[in-house]
Each structure stands twice: as C-alpha cells, then as structure tokens.
Amino acid sequence: MLRSVAVPVIDGLAVFEFGVFGEVFGLDRSGYSDVPRLDFRVCGVEPACPVITQAGVAVTPERGLEAMDDADVIAVPATTIRDDDEYPPELLAALRRAARRGATVLSACSGAFVLGAAGLLDGRACTAHWRHADELQRRHPTAHVDADVLFVDDGDLITSAGTAAGIDACLHLVRRELGSAAANVIARNMVVPPQRDGGQRQYIDRPVPETDCDALVDVLAYMDTHLDEPHSIAALAARAHMSSRTFARRFVAETGVTPLQWLTAQRVLHARLLLESTDASIDDIAASSGFGSATLLRHHFTREVGVAPTAYRRSFACDDAHAAV
C-alpha cells in the first residue's frame, strides 16, 4: 500500500524531476477526489540545510535521512552525475537500509546513478536517460540497462528515463498501488496522458553515419537524396566503382551497418520529418520515403522508433502541421 513517500535531496538536484515527485505524491487531492493524501517527506543529509539545484536555486529539506527509514516509497530525483559515484555515504547507506526492509525505490533519470552507487542495480533491470544509459551500464556491468523504454518496473525497484518519463513512472506506481482511477485523476489534473505509447527510441536523434571513404560518401549522398527509389547492391557498388562483395564489406566496415539497414534508417528519419512538419497522408509519406506502402512504413517505423507513425505524429507534429486522418 502506498501511504508515504520520502524524497532525499542533495546538491546538484534537478528541479523538474523533484517537482514531478512533489506534483504526483505531494499534493492533497482529497478535496476533489478519492485519491488519499500521502505523507510526503523531503529529507536531506543535514535537515534545514539548503541544497543547491542545477537551476541555481536552493531547496531546503525539512527532515533528515531518518525520514526514509519507514517510508513506503523512496523517490530519488535526478541529480548531477558525479565522478566515481561520490554521493553522500549517509544517503547510500539509507538507500540500502530501505531496500533491505522491502521499500519500493523509485528513481527519475540520473537518479539511477545514485541507486547504482548504493548497489541497488546489481543484477536488476533498469533504465535511465538514453544519453546516460551506456555510462550507467559501464559503471554497473551486472545491471540490465534498457535504453529503449520510458521506465522499468522491477518490483521493488522502479527506474525511469529522462525528465518527463519520471511522470510516467510515478503514475505507473500510483496505478499499481492505488488503482487506475487514482492515476487518472492525477494525470487529468496534471494535463498529461495517464500512460504514453512507446519508449525512448522516439526521442533519440539518429545522426547519419559518417565515413572517410570518398567513394562511399558519394554513394551515401546519392542514397539520401533518392530515398524514394529502389537501390540494389549491384547498382550501388557500380556507382562506387567496386564489386558487389567489396562494396558490401566496405560499407559495413565504414558505417557499422549493411546498405539495407542504412537505407531503412534514413527512410524512417525522412518519414519522421514529414510526420512532424507536414499534414501529408501516411500513404504519401510511405511513397516519398521509399517504403512503397503504408503497411511497410508502419512495420519499419514501429520497429525503429518504438511507436506507430500516427502515434508519433500526435506527439511531435508542429502546431501548424495538422495530422492526417
């Protein structure tokens, strides 16, 4: 049962993620709903001692870390990622105590690094912001870091991806512990969806692979400007003045992917741009991106991005680009 939430704060605190915890768990909604009021505790290594946030303002915890000792949930907000995991040892010890007694530990974004420093990610499924996922995996090689998802629920350990994904994780925890009706009330008042589609892949920029091979530079440029046309290995190899076998081998060596994989990724990128900035129909986007049919576009787009084209358009379309029906 979810009755109390403790939020430990340290220097380098990220204001948005801290605010998310306060918004979801700290507000009293009992006056207009059946959502119970939670015992919300902001705590620090030194009570009443301000901590400096990334935004340059100070947050003053009213309580010390002992407030974590009987809380149902410990919510660790994002904070500056410290070299060598040099987080306050008192906090790491308090997190280990909470985990041993069975409290649910929740992190937002880089808060996962604090949990990792406390040893709570070893052998566990987890996530963090996609920019930091590789570093989290490097620091904690036995953790199972999934960079594609918005959050990971591993029972008494819930970790979320970057910034707004903390909202998704918090609402998920409310839904799990208090029911869908409570989560819907909170989401409606925050003016956010109770549950978002897809994962982090839809937010990751995928730059064009670079190469120092002049022949391949010309071929890549040609492919990129003729995405709507069919391309065979033989034709591309001829353009690069190579045999098909040499071209295929050189292409993988230079870009890390096969010509087909590169072409598909660029076609998906082009489709993303059209979905964001135009009101073209899915069929038209499929044709201009080189997929030929809406079915093929949906297949490759969903596999690459994690959501269907229509769902992506709802999330990312510019104000002046009206979604096609």
> Region 161-170: what's the mean pLDDT?
90
Q: Which residue has the tokens 């869908």?
A: 180
pLDDT in tens, 33-63: 999 999 999 999 999 999 999 999 999 999 9
Query: How would residue 325 be classed by pLDDT, with cut points 50, 70 and 90?
Result: very low
Query: How would residue 106 be classed by pLDDT, with cut points 50, 70 and 90?
Result: very high
pLDDT recorded at residue 260: 93
Burial (CB < 10 A; 0-12, 13-18, 19+), residue 319, is: exposed
- ∠ CA 183-126-138 to the nearest 5 degrees? 150
**39, two tokens:** 């015992």
HEC string of the chain equals CCCEEEEEECCCECHHHHHHHHHHHCCCCCCCCCCCCCEEEEEECCCCCCEEECCCCEECCCEEHHHHCCCCEEEECCECCCHHHCCCHHHHHHHHHHHHCCCEEEEECCHHHHHHHCCCCCCCEECCCCCCHHHHHHHCCCCEECCCCCEEECCCEEEECCCCHHHHHHHHHHHHHHCHHHHHHHHHHHCCCCCCCCCHHHHCCCCCCCCCCHHHHHHHHHHHHCCCCCCCHHHHHHHCCCCHHHHHHHHHHHHCCCHHHHHHHHHHHHHHHHHHHCCCCHHHHHHHHCCCCHHHHHHHHHHHHCCCHHHHHHHHCCCCCCCCC
Query: How would residue 198 be classed by pLDDT, with cut points 50, 70 and 90?
Result: low
Domain with CATH 1.10.10.60 in the chain: 214-316
CATH topology of domain 214-316: Arc Repressor Mutant, subunit A (1.10.10)
pLDDT at 178 > cutoff 70: yes
> Region 196-221: what's the mean pLDDT?
66
pLDDT at 324 > cutoff 50: no
pLDDT recorded at residue 56: 93
pLDDT at 122 > cutoff 70: yes
pLDDT at 127 > cutoff 90: yes
pLDDT at 24 > cutoff 70: yes
pLDDT recorded at residue 273: 83
pLDDT in tens, 262-320: 899 889 988 988 888 889 999 999 999 999 999 999 999 998 888 899 998 887 776 55
Burial (CB < 10 A; 0-12, 13-18, 19+), residue 220, is: buried
Domain with CATH 3.40.50.880 in the chain: 4-203
Query: How would residue 203 be classed by pLDDT, with cut points 50, 70 and 90?
Result: low
> Region 244-266: what's the mean pLDDT?
89
Selecting from 3.40.190.10, 3.30.1360.120, 3.90.25.10, 3.40.50.880, what CATH number does the domain 4-203 have?
3.40.50.880
Considering the chain, what is the average pLDDT of its residues? 90
pLDDT recorded at residue 288: 93
